[in-house]
């Protein structure tokens, strides 16, 4: 059975056209035309990736995003008609891993999905366990512990943490994180990195407002400090 994608979109024409195109790309596509149906479908049969249109009747895309996020760390790609507004940041804060703007090329979506499904990069050191202060990261198992307790990260948050942990103390620019974690180039949206760093902090930091590990280097990027 191939990788299953759940597309949530209320416009039937778009849903159908996108399904055809995604099936051509080799994905197995499941559909829902509203948020409630999507939650029900996802609970019954979890997908590998969820594609959510923000503008949904009833339960909107953000709500659906949060609802799925509570139950699963499945990669979520959000589809928005407006890249300029706060929709993007709100969607990312609701738990989406990436976003696309309508109209997107199905090939671009496939590339995004493949990037999100990549496994975390194994650390450059041979050690199976990376320790950063009270954090323990096991890239192979996809597990992070803080003071012995497991911290639950989404796949993208985990890959971001592993990337930073591959060279503790080194400053990573937004561009390089976009490339390594999301597969974007120079013109990727820096807000992806910023919002994910914020999300990561709420999970791995004792006090997310005063981060000790995931530190911002003004004008340059981010670094991980013990």
Partner 1 sequence: MRSFLRRGLGLRARVVLAFGLSGLVLSGLLATVTYGVARNTSLDQRTRSAERQFIDNADLVGESSRAEDTSYIDLLQSLPQVAGGQSIANIPTPEDRWVAPGGLTPEDLPTPLVDIVGGSDGAYLMRYSNNSQPTLAFGIKLLPAEVGYYEVITLNEIADNLSSLALTLVLAAAGTTIAGAMLGVWASSRILSPIASVSSAAQAIAAGDLATRLEPRADPDLEIIVDSFNDMAAALERRIARDARFASDVSHELRSPLMTLRASIDVLDSRRHELSERSQAALDLLSDDVNRFQRLVEDLLEISRGDGGADIEVSTLNLLELVRNVTSFTGHDQIPMTSDDERHQPLIDGEKRRLFQVVSNLLDNADKYAGGATSIRVASSRDYVTLAIEDAGPGVPRDERQLVFERFARGGAARRRGAGAGAGLGLALVAEHVRMHNGSVWIEERLDRGPGARFVVELPRSEENDEA
* Options 20-28, 33-41, 121-129, 134-142: segment touching partner 1 (CB under 8 A): 20-28
**Listed residue (97, 90, 30) closest to 62, CA to CA:** 90
* Nearest to partner 1 of 148, 185 (CB atom): 185
Q: Give every CB contact of residue 207 below 8 A, 6+ residues apart in sequence.
A: none
State which of residues 84, 126, 149, 207 lies at the interface with partner 1 (CB under 8 A). Answer: 84
- Distance CA(13)–CA(214), nearest Å, equals 43
Q: What is the DSSP string of 109-148?
A: HHHHHHHHHSPPPPPSSS-S-EEETTEEEETTTTEEEETT
State which of residues 61, 75, 106, 139 lies at the interface with partner 1 (CB under 8 A). Answer: 106
CB 6 within 8 A of CB 52: no
Instruction: Lay out the site mask for partner 1 across 23-62 (x = CB under 8 A, - = otherwise).
Output: -x--------------------------------------
- Residues in contact with partner 1, counted by CB under 8 A, come to a total of 22
Does 11 bind partner 1 (CB under 8 A)? Our answer is yes
Does 114 bind partner 1 (CB under 8 A)? Our answer is no
* Nearest to partner 1 of 24, 140 (CB atom): 24
Does 190 bind partner 1 (CB under 8 A)? Our answer is yes
Instruction: Lay out the site mask for partner 1 across 63-82 (x = CB under 8 A, - = otherwise).
Output: ------------------xx
* Nearest to partner 1 of 24, 45 (CB atom): 24
Q: Give every CB contact of residue 193 below 8 A, 6+ residues apart in sequence.
A: 160, 174, 177, 178, 181, 222
Does 13 bind partner 1 (CB under 8 A)? Our answer is yes
**Listed residue (183, 224, 191, 212) closest to 96, CA to CA:** 191
- Distance CA(189)–CA(191), nearest Å, equals 5
* Distance of closest approach, residue 101 Cβ to partner 1, in angstroms: 8
* Distance of closest approach, residue 87 Cβ to partner 1, in angstroms: 11
Q: Give every CB contact of residue 105 below 8 A, 6+ residues apart in sequence.
A: none
Beta strands in the chain (DSSP E): 4-8, 28-32, 49-53, 76-80, 98-101, 130-132, 135-138, 143-146, 149-151, 214-217, 221-224
Does 131 bind partner 1 (CB under 8 A)? Our answer is no
State which of residues 86, 126, 186, 207 lies at the interface with partner 1 (CB under 8 A). Answer: 186
Binding site for partner 1 (CB under 8 A): 11, 13-14, 17-18, 20-21, 24, 81-82, 84, 102-107, 185-187, 190, 219
């Amino acid at each position: 059975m191939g990788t299953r994608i759940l597309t949530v979109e209320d416009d039937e024409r778009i849903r159908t056209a996108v399904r055809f195109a995604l099936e051509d790309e080799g994905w197995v596509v499941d559909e829902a035309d509203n948020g409630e149906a999507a939650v029900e479908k996802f609970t019954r049969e979890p997908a590998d990736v969820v594609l959510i249109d923000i503008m949904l009747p009833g339960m909107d895309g953000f709500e659906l995003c949060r609802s799925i996020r509570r139950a699963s760390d499945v990669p979520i790609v959000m589809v928005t008609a407006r890249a300029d507004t706060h929709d993007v940041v709100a969607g990312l804060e609701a738990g989406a891993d990436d976003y696309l703007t309508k109209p997107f090329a199905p090939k671009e979506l496939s590339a995004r999905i493949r990037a999100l499904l990549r496994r975390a990069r194994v650390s450059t050191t041979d050690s199976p366990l990376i320790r950063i202060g009270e954090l323990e990261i096991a890239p192979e198992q996809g597990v992070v512990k803080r003071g012995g307790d497991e911290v639950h990260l989404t796949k993208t948050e985990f890959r971001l943490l592993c990337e930073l942990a591959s060279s503790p103390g080194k400053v990573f620019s937004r561009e390089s994180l976009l490339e390594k974690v999301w597969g974007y180039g120079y013109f990727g949206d820096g807000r992806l990195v910023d919002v994910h760093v914020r999300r990561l902090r709420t999970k791995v930091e004792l006090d997310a407002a005063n981060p000790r590990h995931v530190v911002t280097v003004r004008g340059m990027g981010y670094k991980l400090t013990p």
